[in-house]
Amino acid sequence: MNRVAYLSMHTTPLAQPGSGDAGGMNVYIDRVARTMAARGIEVEVFTRRTDPALPEDVVVAPRYKVVHITAGPEESLSTADQADWVQEFALGVTKWAGANRADYDVIHSHYWLSGWAGVIVKQQLGVGLAHSFHTLGRIKDATRADGQPPESLLRIATEQEVIEFADCVVASTPFEFDDLVEHYGTKPESICISPPGVDHSLFKPGSKSEARDRLGIEFGPVLLFVGRIQPLKGVDVAIETLAEVKQHYPLSRLVVIGGPSGSEGPAELAHLHHLAKERGLDGAVVFRPPETHETLADFYVASDVLLVPSRSESFGLVAAEAQSSGLPVVAAAVGGLVYAIADEKSGFLIEGYDPAGWAAATLRILDDPATAASLSCGAVTHSEKFSWEATVDRLLELYSGIEG
């Protein structure tokens, strides 16, 4: 394996996770690319140009660069609006590959838009195609909150086509494997399982008091939410959980780290501010913008519980990072979270979104130091099964079977 191309049309690994469309997928692509490059493999990540001032190539690390492809307006667009420019993006990738004599061993596309482009690039270059969906439209439809619009028929149809043309569909967990088979009729032999990893040198246990000193947190239990602000992520459940917990711990607070995402993001953020005020939680719910990984590592160590009330997650990278830091997790029993979290060992998995149930699980941790300590140790142990080195080992094994 000498050279790999990653397609990430709608978002770049250079973006700050937690803002806009940037999330766990961005971290995944960046960490995999870095690990591949460190092993001597040339890696190009292709993404759509969103600013005319951006250079064509950005060297992130030796043998790893991000390439900006002009496709449509050179500005930020919603995911839906980018669909009109998929073919132009794909042809831009093939043109760049030809001009730079890039002889790829494999193409790996990410998310449904890039999968669509990946099918075109595969046909143009005659190279094997691996694809990771990260989220699935039909699964989001099955779990969306009341009043939320369904995913587009274009997305559903495209996902089906990508499954048909890809040489390998990469699932993050056995649960995503099952979703692909059950909801898309994917042939089991065409699905490969490769979980994401965690940077254990960064996300690791530490002194809670020292972390709190660095962050300026003085006292009281801290509940933590990390992720993009959109209805799917369930931040409203976290706020309602805090309202219940404060009846037992008046000095408790909820720290929400992340920015609005997608067309519904700004309205959702306004709704969450209103909800916090309505519940009398002004000052107890602290909204912070996306943080660097280094600062985020401090928040994991400084907090008492991570809340992950998502309605759909293909894996839940934030949960894995928190566990690696020794932070117990209370999460929805959906999708990849069931795989990422060891119920009753590294945290608690909750059926449904009743705040009373979420608060009860949170209070089990806050009320009993022995339970908190046991879950913290279990979290670190469970997180050891996830590493970027292991992820790349598995991907290289998969790639070797589909080289063009």
pTM reported for the whole predicted model: 0.91
- Residue 382 is which amino acid? H
**Distance from C-alpha of 267 to C-alpha of 261, rounded to nearest angstrom:** 10
Q: Which of 174, 192, 193, 203 is nearest to 320 (CA)?
A: 203
Q: What angle do CA 65, 67, 71 make, to 5 degrees?
A: 165
CA 273 to chain centre: 24
pLDDT of 300 over the 90 cut: yes
Domain ranges (residues) in the chain: 3-197+387-400, 208-383
327-370 pLDDT, tens digit each? 999 999 998 999 999 999 999 999 999 999 999 999 999 999 99
> So what's the architecture of 3-197+387-400 in CATH?
3-Layer(aba) Sandwich (3.40)
Would you tell me how many other CB atoms lie within 10 Å of the CB of residue 204?
16
Please write the tens of the pLDDT for every residue from 232-288. Answer: 899 999 999 999 999 999 999 999 999 998 778 899 999 999 999 999 998 999 999
Q: pLDDT by residue (tens digit) across 19-32?
A: 667 778 999 999 99
Mind giving me the DSSP string for 126-178? T-EEEEE-SS-HHHHHHHPPTTPPPPPHHHHHHHHHHHHH-SEEEESSHHHHH
Would you give the distance in Å from CA 280 to the centre of its chain? 31
Alpha carbon separation from 125 to 7, 94, 316 (Å, rounded): 14, 7, 33
Using CB atoms within 10 Å of the CB of residue 283, give its burial: 0 to 12 exposed, 13 to 18 middle, 19+ buried. Answer: exposed
Task: Indicate whether 17 pLDDT > 90.
Answer: no
- Residue 375, phi then psi, degrees to nearest 5: -65, -35
pLDDT of 142 over the 90 cut: no
Q: Is 338 helix (H, G, I), strand (E, B) or coil?
A: helix
Residue identified by tokens 């940077």 is 199
The DSSP code for 315 is S
Report the C-alpha gap between 276 and 183 in whole angstroms: 37
In this chain, the answer to whether the domains covering 3-197+387-400 and 208-383 adopt an identical fold is yes
CATH class of 208-383: alpha beta
Tell me what percent of the residues of the chain surpass a pLDDT of 90. Answer: 87
Rounded Cα–Cα distance for residues 99 and 55 (Å): 16
Please check the confidence at residue 99 and state whether its pLDDT lies above 70.
yes
> Position of tokens 């609006």?
81
pLDDT at position 403 is 64
What is the predicted pLDDT for the residue at 402?
85
> Residue 105 contacts by C-beta under 8 Å, 6 or more apart in sequence?
1, 2, 3, 4, 127, 128, 399, 403, 404
pLDDT number for residue 195: 93
What is the arithmetic mean of pLDDT over 35-58?
96
Task: Check: CB of residue 8 under 8 Å from CB of residue 45.
Answer: yes
**CA–CA dist 260, 228 (Å, integer):** 6
